[in-house]
Structure 1
């Protein structure tokens, strides 16, 4: 009975820190450049530094998993470390064609992707992709995962040369 009570404050503290981390992680945003290659590490821990603290306090028993969606086909998360890596190239110009993740003003699936004006003085727009990350703490079989939203912003870069059509007809008639 004494052993149970000794572990109870640690479990409570772990759950408290995880709850605080969960509320902070809801705001987690990762920024990528356009044309990010396959195999690129985009975040050391998908949920940020707060989850690293939780991992340390719970004896390293935090596990991460991406919930399946069209966005998750672009990324892989290491179950143990939470490292987020691109599974395939992330090219903003092909997201709509390849996966239906249309970063346009009239996006059809606003749950997965959205667009907004750049707010840092840069020209262009920001494409925000939404990932759902399941996080489980503890090593018990009855541990219930919590789901956190992580936003991956893909910057728009001018990576296409302009095309000019020159008419063969004379300009003056």
Structure 2
């Protein structure tokens, strides 16, 4: 068995993605903890593609648009999401393998639900409506929701 295969198996047994790297603290050289989970898990940097994957590029474009819309630099958003700047850049360009954890961290950094990063107004009428509602206050959204409920008789199911 060659050395690459041995490293791959070792990473898989430890629960890491094969080929993934641990983000290290430049001061201590130790792994950087995960402040979102409160556990000592490490930041994971996923392997980078050389050609953008179409859906990943679409998600990345959405993330870049949101970042610019909010006036955030790549570094500031990366810090807010506990991601490396390089990984965030790869995500924006559709070159990174996007994990659920990455989507969750980005949603946390933007202060939006994770689904918001994965829906596109051009593809779905509901997403177009959500895009309009996003710019409104909660009071305006409640008024519109009540009006829709009155006209359709629909009710929102509570978990």
What TM-score, normalized by structure 1, do the two folds share? 0.25
Q: Which one has more relative contact order, counting CA pairs under 8 Å at least 6 apart?
A: 1
Query: Greater Rg, structure 1 or structure 2?
Result: 1
* TM-score normalized with structure 2 length: 0.26
> By percentage of residues, which structure has more strand?
1
**As a proportion of its length, which structure holds more helix?**
2
